[in-house]
Amino acid sequence: MFQKQDVRFPVEGGIELSAWLFVPEHHNAPLPAITMAHGFAGTKYHGIASFAEAFAKAGFVVLLHDHRNFGDSGGAPRQDINPWQQIADWRRAISYLQARPEVDENRIGIWGTSFAGGHAIVLGATDRRLKAVVAQAPTIDGHAAGLRRVPPEAVADLEARFAADERAQLNGEPPEMQQIVSNDPSGPAAYKAADAVSFYLRPVPDGIWENRLTLRSTRWARMYSPGAFIDRVSPTPLLMLVAERDHIAVTDLALKAYELALEPKRMVMLKGGHFDPYLAELPSASREAVDWFRKNL
């Protein structure tokens, strides 16, 4: 079994990130470790603690953190997503893990899902402290995915909203906000698909999450293309878990990116859509990740 504790560690800007640290019981030597984080506009309460528990039961120390501006972590404005800031913060999470007495600093892997799956690719390519990478349903190309999510006739209006938001911030106004998920096809929201609405609106503790994010988060997401780094992950071993019918981290973009990755690599296709790895496909997705980390850490 394992013990779970709340921890915090500092990142740039005088902010502290909140994390859960899972430590297997009855170990006599430093253990391999896995660093984890949640996807776009979620928190560590959104369906990924089960993966952390599976890794801890398999004998790994696990650090699962909330990105800045989300969940229990500090930072403002709340619900604001800058992918490159999240990546910089994640490097501090790796440093924090290396400093833990329970951890073998030379055997650390990374697991990321969805937007954080893209971060796992970028970090795997640019931080050689990581010895194994698991990218589950990863974001590959925000621009290409955005072209499919926003109808062509709506792009001009979205760009106008981006510009108006930028001008308003120059005048001292806070960033514009919009909903993360919505059933209203006419209202602005990051996601409107039924499976996204169902997943994001799952119960979480009061005050942890709200159904809104900054509009500029959408602009940054459309600018973010972690797949450009995929051929640089090698020689660090890369496992990609790809959902067969993913309309968010689009399946064909992931398959094309995998072809560009160099060895050592492995791809596993999971049934269902983007959120099924957290639900019906959780046993398969967690088992494949555990096997990969056992082999490479």
pLDDT at 184: 87
When pLDDT is averaged across residues 253-262 and rounded to a whole number, the result is 98
When pLDDT is averaged across residues 161-176 and rounded to a whole number, the result is 98
Task: Kindly write down the DSSP assignment for every residue of 156-198, as one continuous string.
Answer: HHHHHHHHHHHHHHHTTPPPPEEEEE-S-TTS-EEE-SHHHHH
pLDDT at 10: 98
pLDDT at 149: 87
pLDDT in tens, 10-41: 999 999 999 999 999 999 999 999 999 999 99
d(CA 108, CA 96): 11
Cα–Cα distances (Å) from 63 to 19, 26, 52, 54, 95, in that order, read: 6, 18, 8, 13, 11
pLDDT in tens, 118-158: 999 999 999 999 999 999 999 999 999 998 888 899 899 99
Domains of the chain (ranges; CATH) run: 2-147+223-296 (3.40.50.1820)
**Assigned token pair, 146:** 């955005």
d(CA 57, CA 101): 19
pLDDT in tens, 235-250: 999 999 999 999 999 9
pLDDT in tens, 178-188: 999 999 877 88
